[in-house]
Amino acid sequence: KNFFCWERRTIVLMTPSKRQDEGNRGHHHHRDNDDDDDVDLLGEIAVSANNQGTSIPRKRDYRQRAHCNPLANGRWEDTPTAPDAFREDGHYERTFLEELKKDEGKEAKITFADIGCGFGGLLVRLSPLFPKELIMGMEIRAQVSEYVRERSLALRKEHPGEYQNISGLRTNSMKFLPNYFEKGQLKKIFFLFPDPHFKRSKRRRRIIQTALIAEYAFCLREGGILYTQTDVKDVGDWMKVKLDMSPLFRPMTEGELNEDVCVELLRRGTPTEEGQKVKRNSGSTWLHCYVRVHGNPRY
């Protein structure tokens, strides 16, 4: 049977198979999987990346067109004009922020950012591993970003005292990342399974670009880590070449990779929905991690 799907106030006629294909491709092009275990492979007890609790929102209610043009002029009225204008208490509970402030002796700031977070699988995995870090998922698709936000709230309700440090928001990170983060604010930034944009004419839409690497370096503190992972070799090579050319980053050494808990998590293919799909299909992924260098005079 055919059905009508609302998208940007336009009625689109799709077949069920096409709807499934559209729903499975996105900035993280994730796919549902309800058979995952609820035990983190690193020993942390956590819900799976595709958790379905009693109050967790259903992905099928938040489906949206898979691809968005990040270079298009959209409506971004909620974008802060500067990092000082961004309010963390709009995403995290005030009592939790006050506790962090008391422990750290300063205002709590977001330190982990998942760019193109999809349905928030990585956020759920990182939360118990880094309970004192504020983690933000940034997604360009309105419906998907709303799902991440609702999912975070539902997890807090189902697991009191947990998942207080994760949330999601809608933004275009290729344009507005410095509007959210001060110089050197972030400790870690993730670019996992970004939209590959295969056509040569659309490669300028890829999230890792020479001009944008300087912005990512601005937001990362010295010694901070940038993670990239993809299941498309051409995109993996693209991101590696761009980052290798930048004087602001250096590749992580083998010793650093082996000691990093996030690298271990990504290698096992469990934190994101897309990573789980690749693992189920016995596919390959390309993981490249870079450290923000110290002492660059321009930054």
Any catalytic annotation for residue 244?
no
Residue in 35, 195, 231, 234 annotated catalytic: 195
CA distance 182 to 219: 6
Task: Please name which of 230, 193, 238, 233 lies closest in space to residue 212, comparing C-alpha atoms.
Answer: 238
Active-site positions read 195
